[in-house]
Structure 1
Amino acid sequence: MENLKLPAGPMSGLVTSAVEYLVDAGQRSVLFLDIMRQRGDQYREHVAQTAPHVLQYAAELITDGRKLDEPVNYALVRIIPPKNVAIDMRRRPFVVVDPRAGHGPGIGGFKADSEIGVAMKAGHPCYFIGFLPEPMPGQTIERIARAEAKFLETVISRHPDADGKPCVIGNCQAGWAIMILASLRPELFGPLIIAGAPLAYWAGVHGKYPMRYSGGLLGGSWLTALTSDLGAGKFDGAWLVQNFENQNPSNTLWTKQYNVYSKVDTEADRYLDFERWWGGHVNLNAEEIQFIVDELFIGNNLAAGRIEMSDGEKVDLRNIRSPIVVFCSKGDNVTPPQQALDWILDCYADVDEIRAYGQTIVYTIHESIGHLGIFVSGGVANKEHAEFSSNIDLIDVLPPGLYEATFEARGSETLNADLATGQWVMRCEARTLGDIRAMGGNSPEDERRFATAKRISELNLAAYQKFVQPWIKKMVTPEAANWARGMHPLRMQYEAFSSQNPWMSMVKAAADRAEEKRRPVSQDNPFLAFQEQVSKQIVHALDSWRDAQEALSETLFLNVYGSPALQAAVGIDPNAVPTRRREMSDEHRAMLESRIAELRAKIGDGGLREAAIRALLYIGSARGMVDERSIEALRQVRRDHAGSRMTLSEFKMLVREQFFMLLLDREGAVAAIPRLLPEDMNRRRAAFAAMREVLSASADITGERANRLRRVAELFGLDGEGEMTSNVAPFDPQARAS
């Protein structure tokens, strides 16, 4: 045997490669199984905790929702910044609200490059609203909203000198939750950032995003009620996680695990960190999940204004007074752009109506990131979320309207790059409702189909509650419900590979030996290339199966609920052209007319600061966008002023008033500028110089902007003096006219 030699030539190389691959594959298999063991043990440790979470930051408990008069399983904590992060207590606090969609809390602060991380890097104090695994008895969505209002009141009271109300970030389920609260208590909110949150639940396009058909294909929400009854009044969040898993079977059944197996030497920590959150299933009360399904996902009542609180107050998203930032992605098959944005079409007829409600809406659409990536991707955190955090004051002072936030990489050729923070330059470009409609949406026929599915759901739920529910409730005991939850397939996959399984003790010992003698295969090994090819074929097969299932689901839904006979049978007119958009109320119209009259009367009132802001808005509107560099230039003007300053909210009100005056009577408002100016020509020159500085911060002043600038120079009495030199003292837009 010692003298045995492999034959020379290609066959020898192939045998060597095969042996090398088999050794590596065997070691990887053992190490992979050990990672599964660690995942199972981690799961058991996590669920055994009273308050499990995946926050990567130290936190201080501020308010325990269980001790409120109406107890809930939510809590407010203050994020303790790392030693190398400086917090400016004068900056507005950020509050991250975690989604309770079946998983445990902490995803907003899952790692350093996160929503919390980038907000603290921008100098903002940060708070986090999370939850415990078990709901409190009697807990409802409305009670949670009232608790979160108390949390925000607490945050506001802790920061009396902050330059603005808290910026609140709502991820996924938390997005629609804080939109409901902001419509009921608008005075508590600064800007809202709604990330991956569905608000228009029927919206979508054919051939994509079939999750919206699920309620109709299951016959409505009776199945939700049955699941809650089988849980003795609690709904197992593992079923919600299962819904997410079902959307991407190739990732669930293969890719996620294969990625760990194929990169077993480097992927363990990342995989285990994510699985600690993904496997941290929580429960909801039956009343909570029934509200979510009936009022939102099947009922689609949020944007339509048909949700009513226990005191009779209706939820109207048009009541929100804070800027709303909507962040969504084309790669998100859970909350596609239509579901994130089409509530705007339901609430407003056009951009003028958005302005009539004093509303500022900014949206941005990622091209490819998936649903979870919106919250956990480091790349997204360092780009979109970092820019939102750094430029939240820009967003807060934007004039009312509809904007799209776009991001341009900052480089050596970027004009005034020092005025931009981070690696990107953010700008907000004016948009119309036509831009949202161009993304695609439902036809009138689709709207009738979903309305029919909603009615079928109501009928089935009523039948279940009358004929079946009483029997189920008598049969199911809390002990039986707990046993059933423990037997859920998602939980069993963790338990089966934990150290509680006696076979896994041998895996640990074998993994230790494999680690000591690890011999990774070379990357050019042909058998490794074959392994990768097989993996791609498996993914392709599973994706094809998913696509076929989704196409079948859509066909079934469209045909069943598109039947004129079925629609007529449940009271839906097959020939009607449904619309959910509401008309402006008489009360709001009367208030608007009164405000218009008030603003018209004030066009000639004010001083130098009103004149300067009006002129800036007049000139800048010709470009149709606002750039962060211009706002930073304006901020520096404010910062350099030694005298008293307006608060950000006062400055915001000033900008809005001047904007509306220009909107109502642009020529009259511009012509009135000379009446607002002081006699002191030096102050006029300083004002004009500062305006040029702000206007040229993001782009050269050309075209219509240059024409308007020359007109303003004449109005300021500077005809022929418009070319100010750089050594002119900067203008303070808040200084009062003498």
Structure 2
Amino acid sequence: MSDSFQRSNLAQSMKAQRAELEHALTHSPFRAHADRMIEAGARTINVLQIGWTLRVKRSCERVFMLLPELLASGERLAKDLRNLRENGQIGVSWREYIRDASQRTILLMDLLRESGDIFLEHEAAGCPPGLFYKYETIMDGRDLPIKSNFVLLRIIPPQDVTADYSRRRPFVIIPPRAGHTAGVGAHAPDSQVGVVLRQGHPVYLVGFRREPEQDQHLSYVACAEAAFVREVARRHPRAPLPAVVGNCQAGWATLVMAATNPDLTGPIVINGSPVTAVSGNIGDNTFRYIAGIYGGVWIPMFLCDLGKGMFDGANLIHNFELLNPERLFLKYAELFRDVDTARGSFLASEKWWSSFCLLHENEICWILENLFIGNRLGKNKAYLGSERQHVDLKQIRAPIVVFASHGDNVTPPQQALNWITDVYENEEEIRVRGQHIIYMVHNDIGHLGIFVSSKVVNREFRQVATTFEAIEALMPGLYEMCVKDIQEHDGRKTFSVELVERSFKDIRALNDNYRDEFPFDAVHRTSQLQAQIYHTIARPFVRAAVTSFTADASRTVHPERLSRAVISSRNLMLTGLKSMTEQVRRSRAKARVDNPFLLAEALYVQHIAEAIIFWRDLRDMIYELLFHSMWNTPFQRYFGSPYEVIPRQMTPEELRSRPDVQFALKMIATGGFIEALIRMMALLVSDRGGIRRDRLDRWSSVLTQNEPFRSVPSDRLTAITRQQTIIATLEREQAIETLPLLLDESEERRRAYLVACYIPGPIAEMSPSTIDLLLRFAQVLQQPPITADVTENPLAEMEAE
């Protein structure tokens, strides 16, 4: 009766229907989806606002920072010109400058002509490696079952350098195949090759010919590099496993080779390598937006079709130079200024920089789809050989040293390091897997300077090269290598090296919360669709229209090649330039250093460079705003969501459930002197959060020079170190309490405790936590605590006795 009455009451019925409608709208899937779309749109607006603000702020700060300097230079120039006018010397100074500038112009043109001749000769010779050192060919990729255009070269040491080929660790240096020919890292005495040679190590270099083999894939390159490293290890049976150094693009290629051959190499060094090429920060790192602005992989496919299946590496060099156009201008402006002294260094660098290699379509498409667009390698989802072989970076067993720089806008630290946090769940997984990852971040060096600059090579790379044995003795984990300059009393400069234990928070602190990487999933998916459409509709007609002649002609007229060929001896307009240059050298008259017109020239160059920088910043800002307007919309976010990978933190229970972890924890009360001492060192390193170089050297000496460690194979020591690190990480208290079970005899306990006190060094340099842990060791091992420094190796003393 009451229900009928309520239905007949119109006001109450309308109120109930309104409540039901509001509830349906509030809790409907459409409303939830609309809220998510609105939230995503708000994030996009926030990204655009942040990017605009940061770039405008940076440009304004640069202008206001340089404005006083420019004004001061202008005032000084005006003052000098007034003084010259008052003294009646302005005409003399002008004629002096004009003569100097005219002579420098002739010398510069002749230097460019000579560079053009070297370029043409190098191209005609097939672009052999541009190396400073003599070399011999050890292996050729064409002789392998899976053919490639890579070759293994042995660097012949100079007469004043002696390399130990019997016991010293060999180095295999892989230069980048990023458009130019092989040579970077070995084109000067103060290079990576020079540093390693002077330390007495055998050095090998992986070079490559200009043209790849027919149907060459990246898997062929990985097989060739693995065969080369095996050959180097075979040639040095008494030495440790070869160290492999990969620069730029060769860095991620080295990781691919090591992941597919996990027991092959010694330590790996990757310098400025874009393993996670889509990473970066808002308001910076514009290079990663190019694929989304200009299109996906279909454009390189089109260029490969125009090149008869070959991609011209000159395109990569062209893009690199356009990234910082002011550097290209300053390169020739500074060459014009220092033309009398810069000849040797300019020609040496141009030899390897201006000779361009080719890549097969299979190679460039794999690189783009797995790194620069798809980011598959950084997500640990890349495959080799037509999806047959998974490139699992977690399978790498060799220590990995990563070098990056904040001044590198080609491979910023985010692109060099984010793969660590994307591949591994957390730093504990790195320790549990027995992996060593050490990274360094320079403050301001540029991309090429990471592996070309003599300053970096003689400082950071030298420290890395001399720390390999100690790094292999280090407890597994994630570390940052900190190199500090120390000025000695006698004026010499030395370096202090410390390996500081880091967490994923430290790497993520270099990022702006990954809030601008999601659009690249939509770019990847769109790129695949565009490539399929091009392959189906346009490719047959393009391939039918291209011949070998047109492919060669298109490469010949490329701006990077044409600009060098035009300024060469083949240009009839430059006939007589060489003889004119000889006359100029005989009658060379430099302008005085205090000539004000030289200051005017420098001021003019600086103004032009700043104008180019302003145009570059404006271009980069437009790129970023356009990219996020196109690809960071709610619809594109939804379109790319199938490719989105959301990282999940591994729980402690999941970590413990791993079979290798379970086995290690079951062995907590099993072992002897070796296991006990390695466990104590793992506890000390974990407690301090890092280890200094001198302490690491002492520990490395104990492992390699003293019994009972000296007789244990290195792979066995590695397995024990991994096992004891797991125990010390997951069961710290029980690991300490069970130490007496590993050391039955009182003499063993005394020796183990003395070695544990010897490794940290003087007591005055120990942290309070280290002292407390050593006291805890003394308590559980029933040993008297030490009160004086243990300055001599206890194991060495006992062997002497």
**Normalization by structure 2: what TM-score?**
0.84
Secondary structure of 1:129's aligned partner: strand
Assess, with a 3 A threshold, how the Cα gap between structure 1 residues 266 and 729 changes in structure 2: closer, same or farther: closer
Preserved contact between residue 186 and residue 194 of structure 2 (Cα < 8 Å)? yes
Cross-structure match for 2:224: 147
* Residue 531 of structure 1: how far off its partner (Å): 0.7
The partner residue of 1:612 within 669, 677, 684 is: 677
Letter in 1 for 2:323: Q
Secondary structure of 1:180's aligned partner: helix
Cross-structure match for 1:664: 730
The reply on whether 1:131 has 2:201 as its aligned counterpart is no
* Residue 462 of structure 1: how far off its partner (Å): 1.3
Query: Within 5 A, what are the aligned runs for 1:211-250?
Result: 211-250=287-326
Aligned residues: 713
The partner residue of 1:278 within 327, 335, 353 is: 353
Letter in 2 for 1:655: T
Preserved contact between residue 638 and residue 733 of structure 1 (Cα < 8 Å)? no
Assess, with a 3 A threshold, how the Cα gap between structure 1 residues 591 and 114 changes in structure 2: closer, same or farther: farther
* Residue 334 of structure 1: how far off its partner (Å): 0.9
Cross-structure match for 1:314: 390
Cross-structure match for 2:783: 718
Spell out, residue by residue over 1:555-575, the C-alpha distance to the aligned partner (whole angstroms, 9 max, x if none). 11100112334555xx345xx
* Residue 721 of structure 1: how far off its partner (Å): 4.8
Secondary structure of 1:187's aligned partner: coil
Cross-structure match for 1:491: 561
Preserved contact between residue 429 and residue 655 of structure 2 (Cα < 8 Å)? no
Letter in 2 for 1:523: V
Q: Which has the larger radius of gyration?
A: 2
The partner residue of 2:282 within 206, 225, 232 is: 206
Preserved contact between residue 169 and residue 242 of structure 2 (Cα < 8 Å)? yes
* Residue 101 of structure 1: how far off its partner (Å): 0.8
The reply on whether 1:335 has 2:411 as its aligned counterpart is yes
Assess, with a 3 A threshold, how the Cα gap between structure 1 residues 698 and 657 changes in structure 2: closer, same or farther: farther
Preserved contact between residue 105 and residue 130 of structure 1 (Cα < 8 Å)? yes
Identity %: 35
The reply on whether 1:463 has 2:566 as its aligned counterpart is no
* Residue 364 of structure 1: how far off its partner (Å): 0.7
Cross-structure match for 1:654: 720
Residues in 2 aligned to 1:133 and 1:29: alpha-carbon distance in whole angstroms: 33
Secondary structure of 1:52's aligned partner: coil
The reply on whether 1:428 has 2:496 as its aligned counterpart is no
* Residue 639 of structure 1: how far off its partner (Å): 6.2
* Residue 48 of structure 1: how far off its partner (Å): 1.6
The reply on whether 1:181 has 2:257 as its aligned counterpart is yes
* Residue 216 of structure 1: how far off its partner (Å): 0.8
Assess, with a 3 A threshold, how the Cα gap between structure 1 residues 647 and 106 changes in structure 2: closer, same or farther: farther
Spell out, residue by residue over 1:363-388, the C-alpha distance to the aligned partner (whole angstroms, 9 max, x if none). 11111111111111111110111111
Cross-structure match for 1:595: 660
Preserved contact between residue 612 and residue 733 of structure 1 (Cα < 8 Å)? no
Residues in 2 aligned to 1:328 and 1:734: alpha-carbon distance in whole angstroms: 44
Spell out, residue by residue over 1:304-356, the C-alpha distance to the aligned partner (whole angstroms, 9 max, x if none). 23222336221121121211111111111111111111112211232112223
Residues in 2 aligned to 1:376 and 1:538: alpha-carbon distance in whole angstroms: 27
Select between 707-716 and 537-546 the one with higher mean Cα deviation.
Answer: 707-716
The reply on whether 1:564 has 2:628 as its aligned counterpart is no
Cross-structure match for 1:80: 156
Preserved contact between residue 313 and residue 357 of structure 2 (Cα < 8 Å)? yes
Preserved contact between residue 182 and residue 320 of structure 1 (Cα < 8 Å)? yes
Cross-structure match for 1:103: 180
Secondary structure of 1:365's aligned partner: strand
Residues in 2 aligned to 1:75 and 1:64: alpha-carbon distance in whole angstroms: 4
Assess, with a 3 A threshold, how the Cα gap between structure 1 residues 11 and 499 changes in structure 2: closer, same or farther: same
Residues in 1 aligned to 2:330 and 2:442: alpha-carbon distance in whole angstroms: 23
**Normalization by structure 1: what TM-score?**
0.91
Residues in 1 aligned to 2:557 and 2:440: alpha-carbon distance in whole angstroms: 41
Residues in 2 aligned to 1:202 and 1:435: alpha-carbon distance in whole angstroms: 19
Cross-structure match for 1:508: 578
Cross-structure match for 1:262: 337
Secondary structure of 1:214's aligned partner: helix
Cross-structure match for 1:3: none
The reply on whether 1:13 has 2:78 as its aligned counterpart is no
Select between 288-297 and 536-545 the one with higher mean Cα deviation.
Answer: 288-297
The reply on whether 1:301 has 2:376 as its aligned counterpart is yes
Mark the runs of 5 or more structure 2 residues left unpaired by the alignment.
Answer: 1-82
Cross-structure match for 1:158: 235
Residues in 2 aligned to 1:590 and 1:209: alpha-carbon distance in whole angstroms: 35
Assess, with a 3 A threshold, how the Cα gap between structure 1 residues 721 and 259 changes in structure 2: closer, same or farther: closer
* Residue 109 of structure 1: how far off its partner (Å): 1.2
* Residue 51 of structure 1: how far off its partner (Å): 5.1
Select between 424-433 and 716-725 the one with higher mean Cα deviation.
Answer: 716-725
Residues in 2 aligned to 1:265 and 1:577: alpha-carbon distance in whole angstroms: 56
Residues in 1 aligned to 2:633 and 2:85: alpha-carbon distance in whole angstroms: 70
Residues in 1 aligned to 2:309 and 2:148: alpha-carbon distance in whole angstroms: 16
Query: Alignment RMSD, CA only?
Result: 2.7
Assess, with a 3 A threshold, how the Cα gap between structure 1 residues 438 and 507 changes in structure 2: closer, same or farther: same
Cross-structure match for 1:705: 770
Letter in 2 for 1:142: S
Residues in 2 aligned to 1:729 and 1:35: alpha-carbon distance in whole angstroms: 60
Letter in 1 for 2:319: N
Letter in 1 for 2:308: A
Residues in 2 aligned to 1:128 and 1:443: alpha-carbon distance in whole angstroms: 37
Higher helix share: 2
Secondary structure of 1:303's aligned partner: coil
Select between 350-359 and 430-439 the one with higher mean Cα deviation.
Answer: 350-359
Cross-structure match for 2:757: 692
* Residue 234 of structure 1: how far off its partner (Å): 0.7
Residues in 2 aligned to 1:243 and 1:655: alpha-carbon distance in whole angstroms: 46
Secondary structure of 2:483's aligned partner: strand
Residues in 1 aligned to 2:798 and 2:265: alpha-carbon distance in whole angstroms: 25
The partner residue of 1:118 within 195, 207, 230 is: 195
Residues in 2 aligned to 1:502 and 1:371: alpha-carbon distance in whole angstroms: 38
Residues in 2 aligned to 1:555 and 1:699: alpha-carbon distance in whole angstroms: 56
Cross-structure match for 2:69: none
* Residue 357 of structure 1: how far off its partner (Å): 2.8
Cross-structure match for 1:24: 100
* Residue 699 of structure 1: how far off its partner (Å): 7.1
Preserved contact between residue 245 and residue 268 of structure 2 (Cα < 8 Å)? yes
Secondary structure of 1:429's aligned partner: strand
Select between 200-209 and 154-163 the one with higher mean Cα deviation.
Answer: 154-163
Secondary structure of 1:273's aligned partner: helix
Preserved contact between residue 383 and residue 423 of structure 1 (Cα < 8 Å)? no
Cross-structure match for 1:545: 615
Select between 27-36 and 697-706 the one with higher mean Cα deviation.
Answer: 697-706
Select between 700-709 and 240-249 the one with higher mean Cα deviation.
Answer: 700-709
Residues in 1 aligned to 2:342 and 2:759: alpha-carbon distance in whole angstroms: 48
Letter in 1 for 2:123: V
The reply on whether 1:634 has 2:711 as its aligned counterpart is no
Secondary structure of 1:423's aligned partner: strand
Preserved contact between residue 620 and residue 695 of structure 1 (Cα < 8 Å)? no
Secondary structure of 2:311's aligned partner: strand
Preserved contact between residue 519 and residue 636 of structure 2 (Cα < 8 Å)? no
Query: Within 5 A, what are the aligned runs for 1:446-461?
Result: 446-461=516-531
Secondary structure of 1:483's aligned partner: helix
Cross-structure match for 1:404: 480
Preserved contact between residue 405 and residue 413 of structure 2 (Cα < 8 Å)? yes
Residues in 2 aligned to 1:10 and 1:676: alpha-carbon distance in whole angstroms: 92
Assess, with a 3 A threshold, how the Cα gap between structure 1 residues 583 and 674 changes in structure 2: closer, same or farther: closer
Letter in 2 for 1:646: V
* Residue 605 of structure 1: how far off its partner (Å): 2.7
Preserved contact between residue 623 and residue 705 of structure 1 (Cα < 8 Å)? yes
The reply on whether 1:674 has 2:745 as its aligned counterpart is no
